[in-house]
Each structure stands twice: as structure tokens, then as C-alpha cells.
Structure 1
Amino acid sequence: MIRSPQALSEVLVKNSMQYEKPDFARSFLSHIIGWALLTTEGEIHKKQRRNMNPAFSFRHIKDLYPLFWSKSQEVITAMTEEYRDNYAAADYMRMDISAWAVRSGLDIIGLAASGIDFGAIQNAQSPLANTYYKLNPSSEDILLIILWAVVPDAIMKRLPLSRITDVTAAAKSLREVATELIRVKKAKMANKEDMGVDILSVALRAGLFSDEELVDQALTFLSAGHETTASALIWAVYMLCRFPAAQERLRNEIRAAVPSPQNADSGVSSADIDSLPYLNAVCDEVLRLYGPVPATIRVNTCNTTIQGHFIPRDTMVIIPIWAINTDPLLWGPDADDFKPERWLKSHDDGTGHTYTASAGLSNNYAFMTFLQGPHKCIGNTFARSEMACLLAAWVGRFSFELDDPALMDERNVIIPPSVVAKPEGGLQMKVRVVDGW
């Protein structure tokens, strides 16, 4: 296990080509998404990353903000309608916000990454959404990944296990959808028609990928971007329930600067969202404390050293993301505290604050939610932008309170073993519509 910035730099940057994701984990993932950015290594990964970078540049991501906001408007409208239809006589509605976070994340990542509208916000049981739900990370996946480490790949794919059967069928179905989508997009491109601004369209226009590679990349974005977004949104609302003053401060900032989503013509740009210092501070503080992926593993492909210590080939090197993100040596004695203010810098004249992405730290390895180096999450700007839009809409419209007061103590929140960290059994909330926006 490594935690120091120096060791992290050696593994993730200086000697990154010597460290790969474990073969068994990549085999498991490739069964679902094929061979794309999450599963390739070495020169193949380097080439794919280089070819995909333009699609994830901020210049392109800012063009997706209207889409992020449109879907954010759609979900709070659907939640408000549920309130009026079922809870109009009550002071609040009791709902599992995890379910709405998942539906929101799926619709946004589907449209923004590949142009697929799952329709999950309007219908949680839509056929396309139900197909995708089968790919959601499960506690069973941990056992399967362990099995994949000792059982040959060809045998694993033939084992009569329901999880493998479900995942195989769902991946096959979505692969067919993505293949047809690429065919349609290529026809539009040939006719000089508008293909859209989604990530897949940008990659297609670049002409650097085969159709099969594009399908693999599309499935990768859906798989990597959906559950992680939902997890981040769930933890954000949870922390704002634990700290109601922060929730109120955030709501005030949003309402003062962002037009009401009730106005269908109200557009939101990247400049609008990026100009909200407290919103961005809250997002980063949540991602620091509760990043969707708590830890990751690398395996060295040759004998090497880390900080002068000999590491024999095929050693598992664990990178404990949550532990690094809350290390007092890096973040100070309040490292475990929810403190969005650490991401703000006061103006010299005392008139306000400015968001600072570094949290005042000079160390790049203190915030490891998206990792560092050649394997740093290519979608980190996308993820932050999407999260900020959704959280702005949710907190601007609703107030949130934990249904179970015992969960105010985060030690009472059970997080089952899974690739993506979320509270077990969802997160029940008392949700109220706050008038005036």
C-alpha cells in the first residue's frame, strides 16, 4: 500500500508504464465493455487516450452544459410532480434519492457520452434503462473479480452463474444499440447533417477509431460515468443533510445567480455554473471525502523499486484513495471534516470568495479521486460539470433531511463492498419543495 506523494508519483507518473491494472480485473471489465480506456494498457492505451483527449477538452465539455442543465430541469420537474401527485397534503415527501440520482445520471451520461436517451427520468422501467441497470456495479462483482483471478477466462465466460448471464446479455444488447447508433451517425456525417455534440460524435468526426473501438469506448463511458455520477450526487446530498447551514448557504448562492428551472427558456452556461464558488467548493469537498471509487490497484510488470524499496514483479500495489484524500499530513488536523471553505480564497477587500481548485495545497497527490498521470480519469472535467449542474438544480428546488436521524453519524451508514461506494439500501430522505425559485 502506498500513500506518500513521492511513492504515488513513482507509480502513477514516473514509472507508470511499469504498473498496470490487474489482468483479472481487466478481463472481467472487458467482458462488459470490450477493450477501451478502462481496460487497455501500454501503447494501446496511450494511443486511445491521445485520440480521445479532444472530446474531453474543456472547450468541448462547456458545450455540454445546456444538455446537463436540460436533464437537471427534467429530473426536478419529475420529482416535483411526484410530490404534487402523492404528497400534496403532507409537509414533505419521503423518497429514496439514490433512485433519482441513478436515473438522472443514466439519462445524462447516455445523451452526453453517446447520444442515447435512456428515458429513465420519465420511466424508471424503460426497456433500455432496465437493460443497462443489469450492468450496475454489484457486491457480486467483487466475488466474480476474485474468481477471474484464478479461473481461466474461457471457463469463466461459460460458468452458469446468473450474474455472468445477465451481464453478458445486457452488454450484448447495448453493444447492438451502440453499433446501430454509430451507423446512423456515420450516415449523417456523410450527408453533412448535424450529429450532435456528444462525446461519441466528436470521436467519430476525428476519424481515428474503428467502429468496434467506438462501440467499446461508448460502453466504457456509460459504465464508468453513470454509477460514479449517481454516487457523487448521493453523497453530496447526504453531507448537506448533515450540515444544514451549508445546504442553506448553497441554496442561497444558487438562487441568486441561476435562473429558475421552471422557466423552460432559462439556459445555463459553463460560465454560470463555474462562477458559483460555494457550489464548486461543495462538489470538490464531497469528491474528496466520498469519491465514488475508494481504492484502486496496480500490478508491476517487472522487478522495480518504490522509494528505494525493492518490489518484485507481479506485486499488487494498493492505492487507498479515501485514505490519501483524508490524510492529516496533507490536509491538516481537520482532514476528516466536511469543510467546503478549504476550497475558497477570501478576496483581499473582504467582499467575497473565489473558488480555488487546489484548495490552497501545492501537492498534486493530496486529492486522488481522479488519480494522476497518464491514467488520470479522462472524464474528470465532465464528471465535475455534470455533478455541479445536477446538485445546483436539486438544492435550488428542494430541501433535504435524512429520514433516519441515526444516519447523521456517518459511522452508522453501511457501505457494502462494491467497485463504486454507495449507502446500502439507498438513502431515504424527507424532501420538501422550497418555494420562490
Structure 2
Amino acid sequence: MASVSTIFFCFYCLSSAVALLLSSYVVYHVIIAPRFNPLRKLAGPPLKGPLDNHMSPVLDPFRSPRTHAAYVEKYGRNVRIRGLGPWDERLLPLDPVSVAHVLKNSTIYEKPWQSRRLITSLIGCGMLAAEGHIHKRQRRVATPAFSIQNLRALVPLVFSKGEELRDKWMDIIQAAKEDQAPSEEQNSGQIEIDVCHWISRATFDVIGLAGFDYHFNAIQNESDELFAAYKEMFEIAVSQGDGVRTVLGIYFPFLNTIFPDKRVKTVHRCQETIRRVAGKLVQQKKSRILDGEKNGSAYAGKDLLSLLLKSNVATDLPSDQRISDEDILHNINTFMFAGSDTTSLALTWTLLLLARHPDLQARLRAELLSIAPTTPTSRLSIEEIESLHNTLQNLPFLNNVCRESLRLIPPVHSSLRVAMQDDEIPASYPVHLSDGTISEQKSVRVLKGSFVHVPVEAFNLDKGIWGDNAWEFDPDRWDHLSEDVLSLPGLYSNLLTFSAGPRSCIGMRFSMIEMKTFLYILLTAFTFAETGKKIYKANVVLTRPYVSGQFRSGSQCPLLVKPLVSAAS
């Protein structure tokens, strides 16, 4: 039998070997490997020290437009930037051909595992987090639900919720008017409303009904347990928690199990409610669909959950291409997260921009009023609402305003990809090198594991492409686009706002239905003006509005809202 000293000696040797391997791994990846990274040959901004990085000026929407413009001028259109540490040299492509290559080749450039782990811990492995064959399978099942025909069936629902929000604001304004003192009569009918908060509630209602035929009733109150679970989970993921602890939880997930902080506990509690309530809805709808097949009468549900489930059991879909009930729920969570927040922010920013440009607001209102039926929309038939919507979709100035707002303030500021293999990224502009020369070869070599920072906002605001007034709100620019703009990649109007390529936003059409419908209903009922409070942009998962000095209060966009009838009287 081995002696105690022998056992300790063996343990010591084993521990030393493990420590040596770990230290060698760290030294290689932190010190040695970066020296041979071909991205180091690219021109890029200097660093103040070995631990410095470029994340703040690149990610902060208050600074990023000037940062990107300066980088293009000094370092060309494929720039080397530093990520979280000396091992993290990233490519910042500001060349349209380079970005198009990265977004088109989604099997070579995937979301990093760090991003996917964070998303999965919140909403599960839906289309936002899935990669490879899993993403392809989920997207194939989901695509029929987003057909033009199915989305048209949701138009009356969107109109109904837009009208409900309008009526709620009318009630709030009327109640405030009755409470006004006589000395305040000159301001009668005008009230400050946080449009960010209220539009978020309305889009939650829309996606609840459109997503799985569930009534959150969020416009009227915020008491529904499923709404509260989603809202609290998304809110804490966005604005609460310790950033350092969140990063540690990504790299060392056991910490969240052994030492859960407030954020982790809240997310788990909310997820339990979602699994219980939303999971029950999945099973109920699945039973109705199967019962309908047995009885020969197809279930008529038009919500995305019903359409997903129908698509998933379709006879022409091979069994190995179907997805699990858990994946169905994960994708509903994804639609809730991506569908409610992005659209509400796009609408919020549009109303703020129109408040800042009252002449453009009046011009858009005139166009909207020109197609308004004499009968209130609440009394129109489904066919009449669909006809109104078709007319709405083709209004030139409304289309220009929506495109310009989504260009100027894209809800998604930027995204990150990682190379899954060595690759040569093509370029259409000369590639500047760190030694001050320009490469004769119009391409950039990246190694497997290298990060590529896709700058959505930078492309939308590039003065070299959009002109000297690229940072200004000018809807009329869309009537005379340059060839440079028309050659840009993008799912929607040569913009990267909805991304491009195989992983572009599947809900883009639905988002545009919501955006144009809500603008029509709200702008033909109210006028919007600034309050005098300074509102600024901050990149907190998405580009959100905050009142200066009130960041801890969360996203806010207060505007002075006045009924149009009052404004005219």
C-alpha cells in the first residue's frame, strides 16, 4: 500500500502538470498567438496601455459616429481594433463588400459562443442564439408563419391595438385636463407622456396576440403574470446586474448555480412562470391542431405559435427536420424579446425625430389624413382595414420617414461574429497596413477564432456613402439615392438595420406593419412636441432613449402630446 507521502507527491506532480498546462495555454493565447495574428498588420487606432481597448468609442452611440468617421479617414475601411484584452484583436469592417461577405457566409461567421450562452440563459436556444443546422431547421419551420398572406391576417389586430393605445392616451389627457387649475387653461389638452413606456406596452400586447393568441392587456394595466414575467426578465437583463459578474457567469456558468445573484434569481423565477403559462399554451394549441387533423377540420389559429406548430407537423416536412416543443417555446420567447423591444424603440425614435422636426411631422400628417376614411377605423370591416393598410404601405413620404428613422437610429447598434475557419475577406477599398503602406491585395486575412465587429450604425451613417448630411434627419434623401447607397448590403432598403444574409431578421415585414400602422393612428390623432428635457441615446443591448441625469430610471422618452382636434380648435 502506497505511503501517504507518495500519494501527496503524486498529487503534487499532477497538480503541477495541470497548472503548467493551464499557464502554457494562457501564455500561448494571451501573449504568443496574438503576435502572429494577421489582423495586427492592419492599420488601427493606438492604445494607451496593454490593457486598453476600443470598445467604448466604438459602442457608445454618442461617440461612435465621430469614431467611425475618424477611423475611415485615418485607417481605411478595414480597421483593426482591440476588444477585451491583448488576445482580442478584432476586425472592424467599414467596407460594404467586406460586410456583405461576412453576413452572407453565416456558416463561416457565427455568433460567438459567449453571445449565444448569454442569450440562451435568458430566452433559450431559439433562432437568435442557434447556429448551423439547428438554426436552419428552426428557420425552415418558422418561415411559413411569416409569409405575406399570414402577416396580412394580423393587420386588423395591429389596427385594434393602435386604436386602443390612442384611446388610452385620450383618456389620460382628458383626466389631466379636468385636474388642471384655471391658470393652466392655456396649456389645456396638452400633457407630457413617456411614449417609450406606453408604446412598449402596446407592442407587447400586439406580439402577445400575434405570437400565441394571448391577451396581455398591457395597455390597460400591467398585472398579467406572464406579461410581468417577460417584462421583468427583459428589464433586468437590460439595465440591472453587475457587468463583471455577468461576464464571469458566461465564462464560469457554475457560479450562477452555486452563487446566484439577484439578476440570476429573478431570471430563473420569471422563466418558471413562462414555462408554466406559455408552456401550457403550447400544449393546448398542439392538442387543438392534432384534434383538428383527426376530425378533418383544420385548426384556424393565425397566431405565430399555431402556424409554427402546424408547420412543424406538416406531412411534407421530414421527421428529422422537425423541432421540439421546447424549441417552439424558445422561439416564441425570441419573438417576444426581439419583436416587442425593437419595434417599440423604432417607433419611439421616429416620434422623437418628428417632434424635433415639426414641419416634417405636419407634412407626414397631411399625407396620412389624405387617405383617412370618413368612417372611424373601429367601424371598418376586415376587408376595408386591409385595403387601408395596402394604401398605407405605398405612401411615399411615410415610407421615406420610416426608412430615414431606421437609418439614423437603428435599434441594433452593432453585432459580433467569430470566424469558424481561416478566411480571406474581400474588400472594395484599399487596405491600409500598420506600417503606413497600402496593400496591393484587396482582401483581409482572418484566422479561425477572430472576432469581426459588424458596425450596423456606422454603415447607416457613413458620410462617404450617404453624403455630408448623413447624420441629419432628411426623409427626402430617399427620393435621390446615389449608386453607392444602392450597392449597400441590407435586407431592407440597403440598410443594415434588419441585417442581411441568411440570418437577417425574419420578422422585418411584421415590424413594418406595426410601425406604419401605429404612426398612422397616432399622427392622425395627436401632435407631438419636445418637452425641453434632454434625451440621449445609450447602447444598452439595444439603442435606447434616456433622459439626461435619469439613467437609473430606465428608458424614457417624454413628449408633449396634444389631441389633433384640440390643436385645431
State TM-score, norm by structure 1. 0.89
CA distance in 1, matches of 2:128, 2:227: 22
Q: Does the alignment pair 1:23 with 2:113?
A: yes
Match for 2:473 among 333, 338, 355? Answer: 338
Cα deviation 1:55-103 (Å, max 9, x = unaligned): 1122221221111111111111111111112224523011111111111
The more displaced of 98-107 and 47-56 is 47-56
Which residue of 2 is the match for residue 185 of structure 1? 285
Alpha-carbon separation, structure 2, partners of 1:388 and 1:193 = 32
Which of the numbers 358, 362, 370 marks the counterpart of 2:498? 370
Cross-structure match for 1:119 = 217
What are the residue-to-residue correspondences of 1:37-116 with 2, within 5 Å?
37-88=127-178, 89=180, 90-116=188-214
Among 520, 535, 538, the alignment partner of 1:416 is: 538
Aligned match for 1:392, one of 500, 520, 526:
520
The CA RMSD over aligned residues, in Å, is: 2.3
1:253 alignment partner AA: E
Instruction: Tell whether the 8 Å contact from 1:232 to 1:287 is kept in structure 2 after alignment.
Output: yes
Tell me how far 1:261 sits from its aligned partner: 8.5
Provide Cα deviations, 1:30-76, integer angstroms capped at 9, x if missing partner.
11221110011011111211221111122221221111111111111
Letter in 1 for 2:360: A
Using the size of structure 2 for normalisation, the TM-score is 0.69
- Tell me whether 1:201 sits opposite 2:320 in the alignment: no
> Residues of 1 paired with 2:131 and 2:232: CA distance?
26
Q: 1:245 deviation in Å?
A: 1.0
- For 1:30, give the aligned amino acid: T
CA distance in 2, matches of 1:123, 1:180: 23
Q: Choose between structure 1 and 2 for higher RCO, CA contacts under 8 A separated by at least 6 residues.
A: 1
AA of the residue aligned to 2:256: M
Looking at structure 2, the residues matched to 376 and 159 of structure 1 have their Cα atoms a distance apart, in angstroms, of: 37
SS in 2 for 1:155: helix
Cα distance in 1 for partners of 2:498, 2:96 equals 15
1:142 Cα deviation after fit: 8.2
Match of 1:244 in 2: 358
Q: Which moved more, 1:24-33 or 1:307-316?
A: 307-316
How far apart in 1 are the matches of 2:479 and 2:277?
A: 44
Distance 1:255 1:82, change over 3 A: same
Q: Distance in 2 between matches of 1:141 and 1:302?
A: 34
Aligned to 2:19: none
> How far did residue 328 of structure 1 move?
1.8
Q: Is the 8 A contact 1:342 1:359 kept in 2?
A: no
Change (3 A) 1:261 1:176: farther
* Cα pair 1:114 1:199 within 8 Å, conserved: yes
Give 1:196 shift: 2.2
SS in 1 for 2:445: strand
Q: Would you say how many aligned residue pairs link Structure 1 and Structure 2?
A: 418
| Partner in structure 2 of residue 348 of structure 1 | none
Q: Which residue of 1 is the match for residue 438 of structure 2? A: none
Change beyond 3 A, Cα 1:393–1:382: same
From the superposition, tell whether residues 16 and 127 of structure 1 become closer, same or farther in structure 2 (CA, over 3 Å): closer
Partners of 1:142 and 1:341 in 2: CA distance: 43
- Confirm or deny: 8 A CA contact 2:226 2:277 kept in the other structure: no
Conserved 8 A contact 1:83-1:93: yes
C-alpha distance in 2 between matches for 1:108 and 1:214: 19
Return closer, same or farther for 1:313/1:140 CA change in 2, 3 Å cut-off: farther
How far, CA to CA, are the matches of 1:108 and 1:434 in structure 2?
A: 25
Do residues 133 (structure 1) and 238 (structure 2) align?
no
Q: Secondary structure at the match of 2:310?
A: helix
Whether contact under 8 Å (1:135, 1:223) holds in the other structure is no
Q: Deviations over 1:302-329 (max 9, x none)?
A: 2222232221222221111111111122
Q: 2:413 aligns with which of 294, 297, 300?
A: 294
Residue type at the aligned position of 1:268: I
Q: Which residue of 2 aligns with 1:410?
A: none
CA distance in 1, matches of 2:369, 2:238: 37
Give the superposition deviation at 1:157. Answer: 4.4
Q: Distance in 2 between matches of 1:154 and 1:133?
A: 26
Give the Cα–Cα distance (whole angstroms) in 2 for the partners of residues 141 and 114 of structure 1. Answer: 30
Distance 1:398 1:334 in 2: 29
Match of 2:256 among 140, 147, 156: 156
SS in 2 for 1:131: helix
Residue 4 of structure 1: CA displacement? 1.1
| Aligned partner of 1:316 among 440, 443, 451 | 451
**Structure 1 contact 24–145 (Cα < 8 Å) conserved:** no
Counterparts of 1:39 and 1:135, CA distance in 2: 17
Asked if the contact 1:200–1:218 (Cα under 8 Å) also holds between the matched residues in 2, the reply is yes
Q: Are 2:397 and 1:278 aligned?
A: yes
1:359 Cα deviation (Å)? 11
SS of corresponding position for 2:137: helix
CA positional deviation for 1:124: 3.0
Kept in 2: contact 1:250–1:278 (CA 8 A): yes
CA contact (8 A) 2:465 2:485 kept: no
- Equivalent position of 1:351 in the other structure: none
State the AA in 2 paired with 1:46. Answer: K
CA distance in 2, matches of 1:36, 1:158: 26
* CA displacement at 1:194 relative to structure 2: 4.2
Structure 2: gaps spanning 5 or more residues: 1-91, 181-187, 314-321, 427-442, 547-554
Counterpart amino acid of 1:134? E
Q: CA deviation at 1:134?
A: 1.1
In the superposition, relative to structure 1, how do residues 278 and 360 fare at CA in structure 2: closer, same or farther (>3 Å)?
farther
Q: Provide the rounded CA distance (Å) in 1 between the counterparts of 2:353 and 2:407.
A: 12
AA partner of residue 427 (structure 1) = C
Whether the 8 Å CA contact 1:139–1:416 is kept in 2: the answer is: no
Q: What is the Cα deviation at residue 342 of structure 1? A: 2.5
Confirm or deny: 8 A CA contact 1:35 1:216 kept in the other structure.
Answer: yes
